[in-house]
Amino acid sequence: MKLSRSSIQTVLCLCVITSVLTSCSGNKDSELPGPEEPVISRAIRIYDEALFSTSVKEWEKLKDEYPGSYFSSLYELKLADSWFYAGDYVPAIAAYEEFVRLHPAHEASEYAQLQIANAHLAQYRGALKDQSPARRALEQFKLFLTKYPKSRFENVARERSKLCNALLAQHDQEVSAFYQKQGLVGAASARAEDADSLRHSNETSAPLVISISRKGQ
């Protein structure tokens, strides 16, 4: 399951770029300083063209060739994003986690934390498959809401927490039906109760408005 690129990703990309540029020059129209300028421009162009596997290489090159650059946080975040949208969720999660660890006060840290949860959720494959991705995603969305209670992404995190609950409830309902067919009434009843509990949790939270796409980026 792949989550579509949303406006929040675009907003954070712009936030990171504009923050480093304005800190350097105080003028948003100023050119990128330093010898890495052409490489940054190329990496941004490739990323914007959704060539994410190639984008990974470009941001890795910047990270390796310009260690300690003022733009290092940009390199790290866009490398993580490139992995994410290339569908390589394991290295994406590791990169987002490293970004949060290295830059806890950075304005994009909350976005990186949210993307950790999104990357887990993106690995979900259905009600009859392993439910670990949904469970880990739910844990990470809850962690996000604890760490950033006043975040601009609070509603997004709450909606996706609700989605995780709905997915897990569907799984419990499927398992309950299976147990029922096997004559395991007690086990079926227990799973049905688990599903009802998850649904009740959703009923007491905000309406679910998130959409998910299985196709494209």
Question: Does the predicted TM-score (pTM) go above 0.95?
Answer: no
24: in domain = yes
114: in domain = yes
25: in domain = yes
19: in domain = yes
Residue 186 domain boundaries: 7-203
- What is the CATH number for 87? 1.25.40.10
Burial class of 190 by CB neighbour count within 10 A (0 to 12, 13 to 18, 19+):
middle
2: in domain = no
pLDDT digit string (tens) for the chain, length 217 residues:
444 454 445 445 545 544 444 344 344 444 455 678 888 999 999 999 999 999 999 999 999 999 888 889 999 999 999 999 999 999 999 999 999 999 999 999 999 999 999 999 999 998 888 889 999 999 999 999 999 999 999 999 999 999 998 888 887 776 676 556 767 757 666 666 656 566 656 554 443 333 333 333 3
The whole-angstrom separation of Cα 55 and Cα 51 is 6
216: in domain = no
Number of structural domains, the chain?
A: 1
